[in-house]
Structure 1
Amino acid sequence: MILFFKNPDLKFYIVEVKKDIEPSDIEKLKWLFGNAELIEVKTLEGKFIGPRKEMVTPWSTNAVEITQNMGIQGISRIEEFTPYSENKVFDRMLQQIYENPGQEVFRLSKEPEQVEFIFDIAAYNELEGLALSEEEIAYLNEVSKQIRRRLTDSEVYGFAQINSEHCRHKIFNGLFIIDGKEMPDSLFSMIKRTSHVNPNFIVSAYKDNVAFIEGPAAVQFAPQHPYQPDFFYLKDIQTVISLKAETHNFPTTVEPFNGAATGSGGEIRDRMAGGKGSLPVAGTAVYMTAYPRLAQERKWEFKTEPRKWLYYSPDEILIKASNGASDFGNKFGQPLICGSLLTFEHLENNRKFGYDKVIMLAGGIGYARKEDSYKGHPAKGDKIIVMGGDNYRTGMGGGAVSSVATGQFDNTIELNAVQRSNPEMQKRVANAIRALAEMDENPIISVHDHGAGGHLNSISELVEECGGKVDISKLPVGDPTLSARELIGNESQERMGLVIGEKDIEMAEKIADRERAPFYIVGECTGDHHLLFANPKGKNPVDLDLAYLFGKPPKTVLEDITIESEYQAVSYHPEKL
């Protein structure tokens, strides 16, 4: 049954209930919704903007918890609707227009798509925007021959995410041939050379979600037993400092607020996933765009014509992205303490330079105990854990789509690849991981964040040394219309994957429950170097040796030539600087 409430601010609250609500509880809800009135109708007349029916919002999850804490039973969902108008801007990936919403407002009729076996990988690559090269398509066709069956949609999709430029830095690790001459070093090897020549205080670099450097001796202030109310105690520890920075350019270009918010959130999760668990402390953000042309006195910005932007203009991006990054940090509880901004365009020699895709770089600093700065080694029988929020149809193919030029794919694919943030859920998970990491004997064997590629990427990395089996029916489903590929490959935010020994599972689950962090035992390590996502109700979406996913896909080869260009020297007046 659906109940409708309206408050004085013209906000409408749609309440889904499993049974009749007591009159006293109706009065509580009126108070909770800001002196709202109950509209005693079966259908709400008019057009409204509300969340997609298949996506229960984080706001709803929190609201339902509040009603339970108020002693109100039987409420399964609460969503906020606002009246629709022609000029109202809303997020079409998260919201939709409802006309005369009634008792079936949240009812779903779509059935999940079945596992598909791919007969034409090249065509599927184009259809789904997977950014696979011709060499990679040939590699996957050869894998199909070796295993004597067609690859599934999940296997092709998973390979594309795991081996995307975003995840594997194929260009930076690629072979460069310039003017017909093979370069001796890749870009990445040139970057790494600094730490090889001058390791100084480096503890770990280029091998984990974060880098660690030697940190100071410190005193840890933590509860004796984090799974129950207990006294805090002091403990001397030796620390390592975590350092992390990563770009989130494509999502911020396409949807600046959520792109920058999830950029900050993802970078924080990377620092949570360092070694056997590390703790985030403070963040930073860097933005680079074409000229925003906000002020007439900045005359140099008007010397070139602004281009037509596919999604957002530079001024819109700078405002929305800055708000998004700060919003996530504020709600998670990590200050964004510094940053930088560069805007640039230049026209000379009939060539125009500028930022076509915005640069949004999120960075941060944190710490861990030195003995936890390296991951452990999962063994057969260890449990695979997922902590965090439900699965929804967001962030699909983000790793692959982020690896190509913005606008190369249909905008539906590009918008679908952008994640949506839920900082409160991430805070719950961070508190649980912190509690585990601060114990005298940290039970975490390995930990990875769920970034591009979702469960497919995170869990395959967790079990890369040994193999694993995941029961997809154990994964939390927020949207029951998700196909198996969407279920295991989406990048819904605020999830972490962990490997924990069986003997520590009960204690870890108690800690997660105390922190209100959803905790799911989804599988176990197998020791056979095979990855199986098992579907007890149908065909298995992934059933491959890990070597096929992480083996030796074709190396990227980039050929270029040197172009000599001459530009006028910069002229300026020193006294005006």
Structure 2
Amino acid sequence: AYFVRTWTLQAFYRLYLSDCHTAEQLSNLLASCRDACPPVESVATERCFYVQCSQQLSPEQQCQLHYLLGTDKTSSQLSASSESSSVEAAFHGAYRAEVGPRLSVTTAFSTNCVAICSGIGLAPPVQRVESSIVYRFVYNRLLSNWPDSVVHRRLTEFVHSDKLCDRMTQSVYPAPLTADSYRSELLRCPPQPVFEVDVCGRGREALAEVNATMGLSMDDWDLDYYTKLFAETIGRNPTSVECFDLAQSNSEHCRHWFFKGRLLNASTREPLLGNKYPHLMALVSSTLAESASNSVLAMCDNSSAIRGLRVPVLCPVDPARGSELRLLPDPQLRHVILTAETHNFPTAVAPFEGAATGAGGRIRDVHATGRGGYTIAGTAGYCVGDLDERFAVEGYAAGMARPRRVLLEASDGASDYGNKFGEPLIAGFCAHSATSFKAASVGNGGGIGALDDGLVAKRPAKPGDLVVKLGGPAYRIGVGGGAASSVGVQGEGGAAADELNFNAVQRGDAQMGGKLNRL
């Protein structure tokens, strides 16, 4: 993220919770670990909580924090020391690893914890709560001729693999974080100052430099257009924030320019769709003229809507706070919102988060329809290649998840976001093919919502109106354009394409999405 929030750190607590995995999860983890390092005999885990406070907590507040992070059953197991530091027997060796979130962006877990702390009187002292997992691998020196250095190298590679660490949002901590190392990690990614881009003085060259350094993925047409817009039409320099926002909001990912582009036959230069349809959008929307007598919204908003019915409606007495619900005296006309979203590239890169943010984006589309819609339920579907991965390796790009992982983790991600937001996932589909989806996957989400008849049309914008963007921290998805989410996502080929790009996949924060929806 380009803009990182800073906090005042006066008190720092580190708490450990043992047995954070079930026996089945540990068994699966051990089996996976032994594939990489056979001498490993056992693996144990514990969860570590890092709590950042603006002041020291009183004994009573510490008890509240322990109760919150533990629960009735496990609060007694919270400890300020780690069990993974215990000394192993002479013929056994141990390897400790800790995987936690990158601290430059606040996680959804922290958002939820701080909100609960605020509700029970622990905020503002509690400003942030992050959680990591500590792994302790024990291996037998007698049953293997592997030296410790080889075992440690193999385990290091395993811990850094996608089996334990999401390289986009997590990192492997070399040692438990202390107040000093925690502060240093935060300061390593300071907020970047806003600056002007000297388009009026230096022209296109100044914008091209910012495009390269900030990774905006503007093409030649974008550079020419924005240079003329600011230098000649508006008559002032753009700020770095404006350039970043324009690159994102006006990208192919957000605007779908391709669908209104002219498609020509490469050989004859004749229109590919004939004279009747100048572009793909005209072809897609042509059905409306023939069969859309019940259409209320189509091809003009975040979602489509069809004519609904008059239904009894419950409304809060005071919408600004929690209050009594009362039945309105007369039934209200509510239309049915229908929406769908594909999240193919993000789901292939990081299945859980790709599917979760696909669900989040679709939910946002429902409540951003007209002047505010209501979410009801969601659907999900996945199409992948051959599930027998012995025959599904060829053709997959580096960093792309295999079919089995997509099905398992994407399904969990979509359900997880819906459950935390409060929208049930009620239906879906799954398909796999060794030919149709040989080296790609499709992640599709659908949604049903409702829209009041009086809120169908957005009010027109007027000169001087202020534009306000609401939401939580997110990764830079959709910057630029291209076949996937954006050019910036795909890299420039070679080593750049092989290395995971942090712009590829957003991270879901269903709690923040819920707050935005209620607002």
Q: How far did 1:317 drift?
A: 1.6
Confirm whether residue 2 of structure 1 aligns to residue 95 of structure 2. no
Tell me whether 215-224 or 258-267 shows the greater mean CA deviation. 215-224
Q: Residue type of the partner of 2:197?
A: F
Q: How far did 1:226 drift?
A: 2.5
Confirm whether residue 415 of structure 1 aligns to residue 502 of structure 2. yes
Q: CA RMSD in A?
A: 3.2
Q: Deviations over 1:455-507 (max 9, x none)?
A: xxxxxxxxxxxxxxxxxxxxxxxxxxxxxxxxxxxxxxxxxxxxxxxxxxxxx
Q: Residue in 2 aligned with 1:104?
A: 180
Q: Residue in 2 aligned with 1:230?
A: 324
Q: How far did 1:374 drift?
A: 1.0
Evaluate the alpha carbon distance shift between residue 222 and residue 407 of structure 1 in structure 2; reply closer, same or farther with a 3 A threshold.
Answer: same
Q: Residue in 2 aligned with 1:117?
A: 197
Q: How far did 1:275 drift?
A: 0.5
Q: Residue type of the partner of 1:366?
A: G
Evaluate the alpha carbon distance shift between residue 170 and residue 271 of structure 1 in structure 2; reply closer, same or farther with a 3 A threshold.
Answer: same
Would the aligned equivalents of 2:197 and 2:238 in 1 still touch at CA under 8 Å?
yes
Superposition pairs of residues 127-146 of structure 1, within 5 angstroms = 129-143=215-229, 145-146=231-232
Confirm whether residue 324 of structure 1 aligns to residue 438 of structure 2. no
Would the aligned equivalents of 1:264 and 1:329 in 2 still touch at CA under 8 Å?
yes
Q: How far did 1:253 drift?
A: 1.6
Q: Secondary structure at the match of 2:360?
A: helix
Q: Residue in 1 aligned with 2:128?
A: 77
Q: Residue in 1 aligned with 2:50?
A: 14
Q: Residue type of the partner of 2:127?
A: S
Superposition pairs of residues 195-206 of structure 1, within 5 angstroms = 195-206=288-299
Would the aligned equivalents of 1:224 and 1:233 in 2 still touch at CA under 8 Å?
no
Evaluate the alpha carbon distance shift between residue 313 and residue 116 of structure 1 in structure 2; reply closer, same or farther with a 3 A threshold.
Answer: farther
Q: For the residues of structure 2 that align with 1:15 and 1:169, how far apart are their CA atoms? A: 42
Q: For the residues of structure 2 that align with 1:175 and 1:20, how far apart are their CA atoms? A: 64
Q: How far did 1:215 drift?
A: 0.6
Q: Deviations over 1:310-348 (max 9, x none)?
A: 2211222222112111211122222222222333344xx
Q: For the residues of structure 2 that align with 1:64 and 1:58, how far apart are their CA atoms? A: 10
Q: How far did 1:218 drift?
A: 0.8
Evaluate the alpha carbon distance shift between residue 215 and residue 306 of structure 1 in structure 2; reply closer, same or farther with a 3 A threshold.
Answer: same
Confirm whether residue 397 of structure 1 aligns to residue 475 of structure 2. no
Residue 24 of structure 1: which of 60, 65, 73 is its match?
Answer: 60
Q: Secondary structure at the match of 2:331?
A: strand
Q: Deviations over 1:145-173 (max 9, x none)?
A: 42566655444443332332222222221
Would the aligned equivalents of 1:288 and 1:355 in 2 still touch at CA under 8 Å?
no
Would the aligned equivalents of 1:388 and 1:429 in 2 still touch at CA under 8 Å?
yes
Q: Secondary structure at the match of 1:307?
A: coil
Q: Residue in 2 aligned with 1:215?
A: 308
Q: Residue in 2 aligned with 1:52?
A: 102
Q: Secondary structure at the match of 1:286?
A: strand
Q: For the residues of structure 1 that align with 2:114 and 2:260, how far apart are their CA atoms? A: 48
Evaluate the alpha carbon distance shift between residue 167 and residue 19 of structure 1 in structure 2; reply closer, same or farther with a 3 A threshold.
Answer: closer
Q: For the residues of structure 2 that align with 1:94 and 1:59, how far apart are their CA atoms? A: 13
Q: How far did 1:135 drift?
A: 3.1
Q: How far did 1:415 drift?
A: 2.9
Q: Residue in 1 aligned with 2:397?
A: 309
Q: For the residues of structure 1 that align with 2:122 and 2:58, how far apart are their CA atoms? A: 9
Q: For the residues of structure 2 that align with 1:79 and 1:176, how far apart are their CA atoms? A: 50
Q: Residue type of the partner of 2:220?
A: E
> Aligned pair count?
416
Superposition pairs of residues 241-280 of structure 1, within 5 angstroms = 241-280=336-375
Evaluate the alpha carbon distance shift between residue 120 and residue 58 of structure 1 in structure 2; reply closer, same or farther with a 3 A threshold.
Answer: same
Evaluate the alpha carbon distance shift between residue 116 and residue 96 of structure 1 in structure 2; reply closer, same or farther with a 3 A threshold.
Answer: farther
Structure (1 or 2) with the greater strand fraction: 1
Q: Residue in 2 aligned with 1:431?
A: 518
Q: For the residues of structure 2 that align with 1:90 and 1:398, how far apart are their CA atoms? A: 28
Higher RCO structure, 1 or 2 (CA under 8 Å, sep 6+): 1
Would the aligned equivalents of 1:161 and 1:399 in 2 still touch at CA under 8 Å?
no
Tell me whether 372-381 or 165-174 shows the greater mean CA deviation. 372-381
| TM-score, normalization by structure 2 | 0.71
Q: Residue in 2 aligned with 1:370?
A: 453
Q: Secondary structure at the match of 1:106?
A: helix
Q: For the residues of structure 1 that align with 2:426 and 2:128, how far apart are their CA atoms? A: 37
Superposition pairs of residues 508-523 of structure 1, within 5 angstroms = none
Would the aligned equivalents of 1:47 and 1:100 in 2 still touch at CA under 8 Å?
no
Q: Residue in 2 aligned with 1:455?
A: none
Q: How far did 1:57 drift?
A: 2.2
Structure (1 or 2) with the greater helix fraction: 2
Q: How far did 1:211 drift?
A: 0.9
Would the aligned equivalents of 1:54 and 1:106 in 2 still touch at CA under 8 Å?
no
Evaluate the alpha carbon distance shift between residue 355 and residue 116 of structure 1 in structure 2; reply closer, same or farther with a 3 A threshold.
Answer: farther
Q: Deviations over 1:506-556 (max 9, x none)?
A: xxxxxxxxxxxxxxxxxxxxxxxxxxxxxxxxxxxxxxxxxxxxxxxxxxx
Q: Residue in 1 aligned with 2:6?
A: none
Q: Secondary structure at the match of 2:18?
A: coil
Q: For the residues of structure 1 that align with 2:463 and 2:261, how far apart are their CA atoms? A: 35
Tell me, which stretches of 5 or more residues in structure 1 are unaligned? 297-301, 347-352, 433-577
Q: Deviations over 1:115-174 (max 9, x none)?
A: 262735456545655444433333334445425666554444433323322222222211
Q: For the residues of structure 1 that align with 2:239 and 2:119, how far apart are their CA atoms? A: 45
Q: For the residues of structure 1 that align with 2:413 and 2:501, how far apart are their CA atoms? A: 19
- Matched residues, percent identical? 30
Residue 94 of structure 1: which of 158, 165, 169 is its match?
Answer: 169
Q: How far did 1:291 drift?
A: 2.3
Q: For the residues of structure 2 that align with 1:407 and 1:331, how far apart are their CA atoms? A: 31
Tell me, which stretches of 5 or more residues in structure 2 are unaligned? 1-10, 20-45, 87-95, 136-154, 199-204
Q: For the residues of structure 1 that align with 2:367 and 2:316, how far apart are their CA atoms? A: 19
Evaluate the alpha carbon distance shift between residue 333 and residue 26 of structure 1 in structure 2; reply closer, same or farther with a 3 A threshold.
Answer: closer
Q: Secondary structure at the match of 2:76?
A: coil
Q: Secondary structure at the match of 1:374?
A: coil
Q: Secondary structure at the match of 1:425?
A: helix
Q: How far did 1:209 drift?
A: 0.6
Q: For the residues of structure 1 that align with 2:502 and 2:357, how far apart are their CA atoms? A: 14
